[in-house]
Copies of this chain bind each other. A is one copy, B any other.
């Protein structure tokens, strides 16, 4: 599973897009590609999480998103509020070898709806793309969070904080 985030805006989106990346990392997504503004700080912040907490989520800038999506060798899923309930297709999707999940920004070009093999929604209500991605990946990865071995590891606890450093 790889993610494509359309139209990153350097002034407005770093925080939302960091959230998208953190959610993706938790499930062991391999790569996030993004178009729009090239943003070194955004890339670095994700690389720093990998360094500290483990994992290898790659964040990579792509200049021409349409060309990249067209050329992607695998199924293309577009997450959109207008799409079919994702649960109608999720089992079908799990059997596919390689998938690119496209997450839109403010204005998604109509071409994306056509390029996508699936246009899927997580409810047909105004939504957070972070929320939609989280719920989609949670089902796609069978509710399994990836295990990491980092320099810093947090252990679950009923009260307070347990942090292990290695």
Contact = CB atoms under 8 A, between A and B. Distances in A.
A154 B39 CA distance: 33
A130 B49 CA distance: 18
Interface residues of A: mostly helix, strand, loop or mixed?
Answer: mixed
From A12, A127, A135, A156, residue with most partner B Cβ within 10 Å: A156
Contact of A156 (B26, B82, B110): B82
A40 interface: no
A166 interface: no
Number of chain copies forming the complex:
2
A95 interface: no
Contacts of A161: 82, 113
Contacts of A113: 159-161
6 contacts: A19-B131, A23-B128, A82-B157, A124-B156, A125-B145, A131-B133
Interface of A: 12, 15-16, 18-20, 22-23, 25-26, 49, 53, 81-85, 87, 110, 113-114, 119, 121-128, 130-135, 138, 143, 145, 148, 153-162
